[in-house]
Structure 1
């Protein structure tokens, strides 16, 4: 049987929207909401704030994606959490993620969870908690930007340790 363009047209029309739809899901609006660890074990938590990727639940809560990214290349690839935030009751929980994390509602969560909640519920506090916008980009672009940010943090972190040691030494000095 011989195929002509007319026979392939339905296939092309069906595949076109799927390709466009696949591209939409790989892009996000990424924000660093928390970073922690010392110079060898740094990790950061990045929220995807693209409105198309934030699901609103019937009870008023929202579900968003948080990526945990590790500086160490030997660490596993980013860990992805689905985090549910209830702004009305000021609580948060992990809806989907690694088994060792609790899925109970939390009002005093770990810092990264609290910052993820505050990012959504209290946008005016973003500067206070040190949120850093990465921008709208594909997932791979976000991972590359995170690696660059780790480099920036690496330069600032030791200076902070030295200043803390100086402050501690001054606190221990006797007053005259």
Structure 2
């Protein structure tokens, strides 16, 4: 069961919401937002979560395919204004959003590295996985490279050459 928990930091009452995610998504979120993320309207995740909160007490069954939890903290102000809980559908929606955010950042990262011209796509995949400390056992390098190939829709070598021409001009 996934339950909300009351925490206290710096004299402020905070409520924890744990969202089940895949281990590599948790590493990605930690690298991007820290060990826990205190939600506010300033971050995309906080903005989304505030819309999904409600004041009904709910418990959730853990999704067995997602073996890790990423923790969000809700401060007093948002707790009183929006609520402290999320439905199972909203938790699953948020988890799916994290998967998509990870994939978009991955594809943009590879495109950016190709624009720089110093690495090829295969090396860029390795770099991305090493930055987020994602082991091969959790996410296969070749699968991610094939994902990028499907995304690019054109020959990656031509794409890199065209990008280098754009930079040179």
Using the size of structure 1 for normalisation, the TM-score is 0.27
Question: Could you say which structure has the greater relative contact order, defined with CA pairs below 8 angstroms and 6 or more residues apart?
Answer: 2
More helix per residue: 2
Higher-Rg structure is: 1
More strand per residue: 1
